[in-house]
Amino acid sequence: MQKVSFFKSIHVKLVLIYVLLIIIALQIIGIYFSKQLETNLKTNFQDSIRQRIELVHYSVREEMLKIRDENTPPSLEDSLKPILQGFSTEDINKINVVDRHDRILATSEDDQAIVGQRINEEIIQQAASSETLLDKISLDRDTGQRIWILAVPIMDNVGSKEDLKGVIYVQSNIEKVYEQLNEINRIFAAGIAVSLAITIILGILVARTITRPISDMRKQAQAMSKGNYARKVRVYGTDEIGQLAIAFNHLTNRLQEAQSTTEAERRKLASVLSNMTDGVIATDRKGKIILINDPALELLHDSRETTLNRPIASVLRLDQEYSFEDLIHMKDPVNLDFSMNDAPYVLRANFSVIQKETGFVNGLITVLHDITEQEKIDMERREFVANVSHELRTPLTTMRSYLEALAEGAWKDENIAPTFLNVTQTETERMIRLVNDLLQLSKMDSQEYELNLEFVEFNKFFTQIIDRFEMSKSQNVEFIRLLPEKSYFVDIDTDKLTQVIDNIISNALKYSPDGGNIRFGFTVHDNMIRVMISDDGMGIPKENVTRIFDRFYRVDRARARSMGGTGLGLAIAREMIEAHGGKIWAESEEGQGTTIFFTLPYELDEAGDWE
């Protein structure tokens, strides 16, 4: 998980929000306090000045309204001077009394040279013309400090109308008010700074109490994402965050239990899928393969890399006949024919839809079965029934024809009757041999037989059988023996192996031409005796060599049947050889003869052990 940067962390955000709120609150309070303080200080200062100016105004007015003789001292200027100087303080820079002609009558300044001079101040002219008190705050041209200028008209009430006598011009030092205000603001700012420092410390502590459990839960979530459920969140209290931590720990326990259950089920499912003999394929809702087990890969002869994320219809080679939607609605199994040349290979696919409770199709499960052997057995069973029916129908049809002829009176003919009876007897014996062979094959298929094993010298055993056929053969066929001089011992059922060799030699004699050869021999390879019986007969076509050991199979059916064969001899031979732990096969070329091979396990023993 990506690491959270310092400025993006919730701890910093909480502290910043907390501090910003305090700063905004203090700013609002400071602005309001400063404005109110400034207003109050200015009002108090101005009220104080006005009160004193009212006294000045009263005294000056009285002096100006006195009736004076020009020769009687003191003059107006001299009488006004002590009045103005008596009211001159630190707050008041200067007081000038100006007559209605803008000439200075008296001043509170030490410099009396300005007395009698004209003063050009706009506020004096405005106050005189409007006959009302005017004031303004301005900057002193000499000191650059703020001063409060006040112009008070001096009126004389004569009858019903007022007459302007002059204007009192006052400059007061209001800069001290602003200096006092700035000092208070500095004290207030220092207090704000101290309070902000305390606020930040408290904010960090408060934010830490909130962010520490959250950070702990974030670490726990990261650990859970990596599969670690052993870690627990520390509970710091019983408030909402503490209850959240308790719930988080409970969630961790439940997730751990769910994970354990899911993992156990996953292992079970993986074990089931891996140990199933059937192939299992799962797809997503679009029909692409998301899961396939090893048996399915073996059945399809494909790899996991080339099958995953491919459409299932393409993998099963059904895309030409069915779409994924068709497979979803498929109720019956589908046979998949992967046969190549003479190698049959058939799979059966059963489809099952994965659906949610809402009915939404979430995927498809396909189960594959290898039914090659089943199909082969079914085909062989059908062929076997057809062959048995054919083999029995031919002699039965022949017997019925001859018996009908005998029943119609042919038995009275001494020349025909014996022939008919002889044919009937021959066909009966043929059917008996067929039934006996079938019974023997049935016992071998059901393994309802036991081998009566004997430890014999194979050289003598094989020679005796060859001698018996050589003595009784009727054709002009030469037997060639290629037997080793060394003795080899085998553990065999002599009756059953005699039947095998008899059947092979009988077939060799049947198909060998006059003047031909039949060769006998055996060799030893890897503790196995490999026996060979070869003839110079008509041979077997290459495409039929592997089928001569099938039941009822004949290369030349008409000739084989005329020679009395049932078509089961080599099939019985294969079953008997395999029961002894060996194998049997044929090599042949059409027109060049046939060679039958079979193997048997042997044990090498010294002749002295038998003396």
Averaged pLDDT of the chain: 81
Identify the pLDDT of residue 531. Answer: 93
Identify the pLDDT of residue 185. Answer: 85
Identify the pLDDT of residue 552. Answer: 66
d(CA 453, CA 131): 156
- The fold for domain 376-444 equals Helix Hairpins (1.10.287)
Q: Under CATH, domain 276-370 is a member of which superfamily?
A: PAS domain (3.30.450.20)
SS3 411: helix
Which pLDDT tens digit goes with each residue over 173-219?
Answer: 888 888 888 888 888 888 888 888 888 888 778 777 777 777 777 77
User: Which two tokens mark 291?
Assistant: 């899961």
User: Which two tokens mark 522?
Assistant: 């055996």
**Residues of the chain above pLDDT 90, percent:** 6
- Max mean pLDDT among 381-390, 419-428, 448-457, 588-597 falls in 588-597
Cβ-contact 223, 256 below 8 angstroms: no
User: Which two tokens mark 255?
Assistant: 């997730």
d(CA 424, CA 405): 12
Q: Does residue 238 surpass a pLDDT of 60?
A: yes
Which pLDDT tens digit goes with each residue over 259-308?
Answer: 888 888 878 877 777 777 788 899 988 889 988 888 888 888 888 888 89
H/E run at residue 386: helix 372-407
Please tell me if the domain spanning 276-370 has the same topology as the one spanning 376-444: no
d(CA 375, CA 369): 12
Which pLDDT tens digit goes with each residue over 425-448?
Answer: 877 877 776 677 677 666 666 666
CATH 3.40.640.10 applies to domain 450-601: no
d(CA 488, CA 485): 9
In this structure, CATH architecture of domain 11-181: 2-Layer Sandwich (3.30)
d(CA 121, CA 130): 14
Task: Break the chain into its structural domains and give their ranges.
Answer: 11-181, 236-275, 276-370, 376-444, 450-601
DSSP alpha helix (H) spans, 226-317 = 240-275, 294-300, 304-307, 312-315
